[in-house]
Amino acid sequence: MAQATLPPEVLDDAKARRYNADAAGLGRLRAGAFVAPALVLISLFLVFPALWVLYLSLSNYRLTGAAAAAPQSVGFDNFVKALTDPEFWSSTWLTFEFVLGSAVIGQVVLGFLIAWIMRDRTGPIKRIVEGLVILAWILPSAVVSFLWVALLDRDGGTLNTLLHAQDFAPLLDHPMLSIIVFNIWRGAAFSMMLYGAALGNVPPSHLESARLAGASGWQQLRDVVFPHIRGHVLTNLLLISLWTFNDFTPFLLTAGGPDGKTEVLSVHVYQVALQGGELGYGAAVSTVILLINLVVAVFYLRLLRSKK
Amino acid sequence: MSAIELRGLTKVYPGGVKALDSLDLTIPDGEFFALLGPSGCGKTTLLRTIAGLETATGGAVVIGGRDVTGVQPGGRDIAMVFQDYALFPHMDVTDNIAYPLRIKKVARSTREQKAAEVGARLGLDKLMDRRPGQLSGGQQQRVALARVMATQAQAFLFDEPLSNLDARLRLEARTFLKKLQHELGVTTVFVTHDQAEALAMADRMAVMESGHIRQIGTPAEVFQRPANTFVAGFIGSTPMNLLDGVVRGDTVEVADCKLAVPQSAEGLLRDGEKIVYGVRPEYNGYSAEPVDGSLVGKVSIVENLGASYLVTLDVNGVPVQAVVPEGHEPALGDEGYALPRRDRALIYRDGELVSA
Amino acid sequence: MTRFVLHRIGFYVLVAVLLAFFAVPLLWLASAPFTSDPTYQVRMPDFTADNFRALFDNPYALGSLWNSVLLAAGTAVLVVAFATLAAYALSRVRLPGRDALLYTLLLLSSIITGTAAMVPLFQLAVELQLIDSQLGLILILTGGLLPAAIFMMKDFMDSTPKSYEESARVFGATPLQIVRHVVVPLVRPGLATIGVWAVANVWGNFLMPYLLLSDVEKQPGAVIMYTLYTEGGQANLQLLATFGLLYSVPVVLMYLFVSKKYGFRFHGGIKR
């Protein structure tokens, strides 16, 4: 009988299976063919535009006129122009206000609040509240934007009727506040559901032992709940910041006005590049947006990896 | 006709892990053959290499006289039952059993008839319209068997066929499988980590350890004469007593007791050499009265095995076990004498069985 | 005891405020379509069907909903088909550079948003003469949704045991037969999820069709809705109310369908 001459190398059967994952015997060639159509579309309509935007940002491309026919490279002029343009900086500041106010503070706080007060509840109250919050989230943006235009209308808007006010025009007088409140209303559902799921994962025994030790509601929140959902909070913050930063819906409410008071970067790009025709300059601003997205996304992916 | 032959079969995974190390094995036509070993010994890899789900890095697989080493699994004329049965959850029992025939482009009516036939044979006739999710574990196993039977393949491969059943059902299924294989007469290889299962079902078996076959034989051979201390320790519901000893003339000295040299090692031992003396508890006679050539000690543990008792003697600090029929079990602390059967005791030198 | 009562009162006040905040903006959509002569103000509806006539009188309203259906269905079919094929290959075969590819896909899908890519996409569409082409828009939308779809699909594939495929393979099925007979039926819930997700995304998408479709007859509901309330003159509230409602209903139905059938699986990227 054969004798073991070498020290046995332990091999797990599960590990062995991992090596040969090609269960259907697809082979690399066919697998490549399976991936190809998706990759072609992604390269053409996602990767290529991202690279093209870099090229455009270095040119004086315009929609019409001489520069449209024969665009020339202008180096970093577009970036210099943007970085010295007060409109760009005001737009960046507005974007910051919008993201901080509606996402980082508004949606996170409101979403958590709803998830927290509904955590142990079942029945109609929970279903109605959650249903309405989710409804605000899933309705098409064009529809909800109009609903808010109607709500905030100066003459016959429902808000004025409720407040018994006359001539109160939030969209004109407080446009930034209006779109911030709108976006809190619109997006709270995501945070609510994420925190709802996270709170469901807090082991009840931990809460019970804290309660037995006499911890108050606030202490339970701080000492038991928060350590468990810290990862979710970070995930949530990064995702909704990214989405809000790239949100084009403010355009549907105010189109950047009045007087550019709500012209966040996404709307700014549209106004400059597609209304104003300055594609090169618009591309420079787009590049800035891409870079900011990249930073947030890399943070997010790091976070996902460290969780695994 | 449909024997399975492995010649120098080797499987090395990327990264240099050797799962199979130059195995030679011949399984004659119609045999029910077990691959037994602890987890990680390569038995599943071996089965999957026979099936073609893993590609051998060296050597050959020959099924029914045809070298199929480079052939795709579907072209090997074999059928396999997976550990989780792999019944397609979206097909009913009929479609599951008939699936291999569907691949072979058999007409729908013919394959449904065949499925009904095989299903009826395995007592599935009332379940043919159910989905696998609506079946019990035992029923699922029979569907998996029916599907394999419907292929009329040259050889069957079962991967841990009983491990997904609960303990009671496992005994029933063991009997059922053995009977079925006997009736069908198809060469069948199955993998198991449970030595009792292998002993009960197989015509012959191979015991594997880290990519090597350590012994091939009938269950009786493997049980009575383990070829080495690894097999001796692995086989048997109670492990064999493996006691360090020294040869003294025509006796063996174990734990300061003098025992007779076992029959199998007569004339093969040198005076003064160190050996391991092996005897199964079942072959270790127990007596409360002094007996010549026995192991003497105090009873330290008595375990109930049902119809018998497993008694552990403390023989000068060395634990020695013996099986005692019910009604004869000693009390704790009693003086006891264990007399190994000379025709069953074994001697191991450097881990290998000493025999003519 | 008083503490408990205060707690309860506090809770119900809070719930009332939340309900008001979330419900008030939606009231108009629920009441105006059924109110004669609707204004911006929310009034008790008198359940008239007159407003729906405005819908049928408008030359573009119903057509735009059909356009929305076309865009959503076309994109969903392409996304599901391509994402499934790609996810299967990526899940089962160790293609060289697979992990890097997946990481890049995930990164791309989160950073290249409509906002960031609207300038080059517009230009690309002009160059390729895809302006006013619904097929062009479908391809562009598909490209944007595919990375996230591949990712979600791969999740489904990875959680499907491989023994099903191995079993079919031992019985002699070819790789394509295995995909057709075994893999696709097994991941059907995944296909449905991705499909619904793609439809929801396209149905609500405003920016891309707004940029790329200038022909009113080709524009989907989102763009027509926006045009209806921003174009010059007095907005036609009858039309806005009924159109808004009709355009919203499918989304709500889809949500109910998904949460009933599959439970609402929480996916980070389910909506952007």
3-state secondary structure of C233: coil
Same domain assignment for residues A92 and A42? no
Decide if A296 contacts A95 (C-beta within 8 A): no
Q: Quick one: A242 and A205 in the same domain?
A: yes
Q: Could you check whether the bond before residue B89 is cis, i.e. omega within 30 degrees of 0?
A: no
Nearest CA in chain C to A21: C92
Q: Which of A18, A22, A195 to mutate to test the interface with C (most CBs of C within 10 A)?
A: A22
Nearest-Cα residue of chain A relative to residue B37: A13
Q: For B54, which of A10, A11, A20 is closest by C-beta distance?
A: A20
Identify whether A42 is part of a domain.
yes
Exposure pattern of B30-40 as b/e (b: 16+ CB <10 Å)?
bbbbbbbbeeb
Q: How far apart are CA C177 and CA C183, in angstroms?
A: 9
Nearest to C170 among B80, B88, B89 (CB): B80
Domain limit, last residue, from A69, A91, A112: A69
| Closest residue to B151, CB basis, from C166, C171, C173 | C171
Model pLDDT for residues B93-139, shown as the tens digit of each residue: 999 999 999 998 999 999 999 999 999 989 898 999 999 999 988 89
pLDDT of residue C33 exceeding 60:
yes
Stretch A7-17: mean pLDDT? 37
Reference A191, options A82, A78, A107; nearest CA is: A107
> With an 8 Å Cβ cutoff, is A123 touching chain C?
no
Examine the domain organization and report whether A276 and A138 are in the same domain.
yes
- Mean pLDDT in residue range A183-195: 91
Q: What is the mean pLDDT of chain C?
A: 85
Q: How far apart are CA B66 and CA C33, in angstroms?
A: 77
Contacts of A147 in chain C (CB under 8 A): 25-26, 28-29, 244
Residues paired with B303 in a beta bridge: B310
Residues A130 and A195 in one domain: yes
Closest Cα of chain C to B98: distance in Å? 11
Q: Is residue B38 less than 8 Å (CB to CB) from chain A?
A: no
Give the mutation candidate from B13, B44, B99 for the C interface (greatest C CB count, under 10 A): B99
**Cα separation, B33 vs B230, whole angstroms:** 20
Q: What is the pLDDT, as a whole number, of residue B30? A: 92
Q: Which pLDDT tens digit goes with each residue over B227-284?
A: 999 999 999 888 899 999 999 988 999 988 999 999 988 889 889 899 999 999 999 9
Is the pLDDT reported for residue B304 higher than 90?
Answer: yes
Contact at CB, B214 and A2, closer than 8 angstroms: yes
Whose CA is closest to A22, among B89, B85, C79, B72? B72
B227 and A CB contact within 8 Å: yes
CB-based contact A290 C124, cutoff 8 Å: no
Residue among B75, B83, B90 whose CB faces C172 most closely: B75
Give the pTM.
Answer: 0.81
Q: What percent of chain C has pLDDT above 90? A: 22
Do B208 and B35 touch, CB atoms closer than 8 A?
A: yes
CB-closest option in C124, C139, C244 to A52: C124
Instruction: Enumerate the residues of chain C whose CB falls inside 8 A of the CB of residue B103.
Output: 168, 171-173, 177
Read off the pLDDT of each residue in C61-88 and give the average, rounded to a whole number.
Answer: 92
Q: Are residues A83 and A156 in the same domain?
A: yes
Closest CA to C137 of C214, C57, C200: C214
Q: Tens digits of per-residue pLDDT, B41-62?
A: 889 999 999 999 988 899 999 9
CB atoms within 10 A of CB B20: 28
pLDDT at A248 exceeding the cut of 70: yes
CA dist B344 and B277 (Å) reads 11
Find the helix packing angle between C2-31 and A124-138, rounded to 10°: 40
Give the per-residue pLDDT at A184: 94
- CA B281 to CA B266: how far, in whole Å? 22
Nearest residue in A to C86, CA atom? A35
A111 and A244 both lie in a single domain: yes
Provide the ipTM.
0.84
Alpha-carbon distance values, A263 to A92, B143, C272 (Å): 9, 66, 21
Question: How many Cβ pairs within 8 Å bridge chains A and B?
Answer: 55
Chains with at least 3 CB pairs less than 8 angstroms from chain B? A, C
pLDDT band at A9 (very low <50, low <70, confident <90, very high): very low
Mean pLDDT of chain B: 91
In this prediction, residue B1 carries a pLDDT of: 54
> Residue A296: inside a domain, yes or no?
yes
State residue A229's pLDDT score. Answer: 85
Q: What CATH number is given to the structural domain containing A82?
A: 1.10.3720.10
Distance from CA of A28 to the nearest CA of C (A): 6
Return the partners of chain A (3 or more C-beta pairs < 8 Å).
B, C
Nearest to A9 among B45, B210, B352 (CB): B210
Residue A29 has pLDDT above 70, yes or no: yes
Q: What percent of chain B has pLDDT over 70?
A: 100
**Least trusted range by pLDDT, from B164-173, B198-207, B306-315:** B164-173
Look up residue A120 and give its two tokens.
């142990």
Range of the domain at A51: 13-69
Give the pLDDT confidence score for residue A1 in this predicted structure: 33
Rounded CA-CA distance C167/B48 in Å is 11
| Contact check, Cβ <8 Å, B73/C164 | no
- Chains with 3 or more CB pairs closer than 8 angstroms to C? A, B
Q: Which domains can be identified in chain B, with CATH numbers?
A: 4-234 (3.40.50.300), 241-353 (2.40.50.140)
Q: What is the number of alpha carbons within 13 Å of residue C11 lying toward its C-beta?
A: 14
Q: Which residues of B touch A16 (CB under 8 A)?
A: 13, 19, 44-45, 54
Question: B52 contacts in C (CB within 8 Å)?
Answer: 170
Q: What distance in Å separates the CA atoms of residue C37 and residue C50, rounded to the nearest whole number?
A: 9
The residue ranges of DSSP E strands in C8-127, in sequence order, are: none
In the prediction, which pLDDT does C263 show?
A: 59
Residues A87 and A149: their CA atoms lie apart, in Å, by 26
Q: What is the pLDDT of residue C271?
A: 36
For residue A299, what is the nearest residue in chain C, using CA coordinates?
C107
Give the nearest chain A residue to C81 (CA atoms). A38
Does A14 lie at the interface with C, CB-CB under 8 angstroms? Answer: no
Provide the residue count of chain C: 272
Distance of residue A171 Cα from the nearest chain B Cα, in angstroms: 55
Residue % of chain B over a pLDDT of 90: 70
Q: Report chain A residues whose CB lies below 8 A from the CB of C93.
A: 21-22, 26-28, 31
* CA nearest to C8 within chain A: A117
Tally of structural domains, chain A: 2
**Is A11 within 8 Å of B42 when comparing Cβ atoms?**
yes
Tokens for B324, please give them: 């005692």
Q: What would the pLDDT profile of C57-71 be if each residue is shown by its tens digit? A: 888 888 899 999 999
Inter-chain residue contact B211 with A11, CB threshold 8 Å? yes
Q: Which of A31, A48, A69 is the last residue of a domain?
A: A69
Note whether A38 and A100 are same-domain residues: no
B208 or C28, which is more confident: B208
The CA R_g of chain A, rounded to the nearest whole Å, is 26
Coil, helix or strand for B95? helix
The percent of residues in chain A predicted with pLDDT above 90, rounded, is: 18
Confidence (pLDDT) at C58:
80
Instruction: Look up tokens 């549209």; give the residue.
Output: A270
Task: Looking at the structure, tell me whether residues A55 and A152 fall in a common domain.
Answer: no
- Residue A201 near residue A228 (C-beta atoms within 8 A): yes
Residue A2 lies in a domain: no
Chain C touched by A179 (CB under 8 Å): no
Q: Are residues A153 and A296 in the same domain?
A: yes
- Interface touch A24/C203, C-beta < 8 Å: no
The token pair at C199 is 């439809």
- pLDDT, average across residues A20-48: 84
Our CA-based measurement puts residue C166 at a distance from the nearest CA of chain A, in whole angstroms, of: 5
Judgement on whether residues A23 and A90 belong to the same structural domain of the protein: no
Helix (H) / strand (E) containing B264:
none
d(CA A195, CA A182): 21
pLDDT digits (tens, 9 = 90+) for B67-98: 999 888 888 999 999 998 999 999 999 999 99
Domain boundary among A23, A47, A69: A69
User: Left (φ > 0), alpha (ψ -120 to 50) or beta: where does B258 sit?
Assistant: beta
pLDDT digits (tens, 9 = 90+) for C90-117: 888 887 888 888 888 888 888 888 888 8
In-domain check, residue A167: yes
Q: Is C174 strand, coil or helix?
A: coil
Structure tokens at A73: 């490279």
Backbone angles phi, psi at A187, to 5 degrees: -110, 5
Q: Which amino acid is at A285?
A: V
Residue A256 lies in a domain: yes
Q: Do both A86 and A208 map to the same domain?
A: yes
Contacts of B89 in chain C (CB under 8 A): 186
Mean pLDDT on A172-183: 89
Closest CA to A27 of B287, B55, B45, B142: B55
Contact criterion met (CB < 8 Å) for B100 and C172:
yes
The alpha-carbon gap from B104 to the nearest alpha carbon of chain A, in Å, equals 17
Q: Does some domain include residue A49?
A: yes
- Is residue A106 a contact partner of residue A237, using CB atoms and an 8 Å limit? no
Q: Are A141 and A61 found together in one domain?
A: no
CB A158 within 8 A of CB A150: yes
**DSSP, res B132:** G
Residue A241 has pLDDT above 70, yes or no: yes
Q: Which residues of C touch B72 (CB under 8 A)?
A: 169
Q: Is residue A70's pLDDT more than 70?
A: no
CA-to-CA dists, residue C206 to A29, B169, C198, C225, angstroms: 39, 61, 14, 10
Residue A27 lies in a domain: yes
Residue closest to B163 by CA, chosen among B53, B277, B43: B43
Instruction: Output the pLDDT for position A65.
Output: 64
Q: For C240, phi and psi rounded to 5 degrees? A: -60, -45
Encoded tokens for C5? 């009562």
Spatial contact of B119 and B125, defined as CB atoms under 8 Å apart: yes
- Whether A3 is covered by a domain: the verdict is no
Q: Please list every residue in chain C whose beta carbon sits closer than 8 Å to the beta carbon of residue B74.
A: 169-174
CA distance readout (Å), A59 to A53, A78, A120, C15: 10, 8, 58, 55
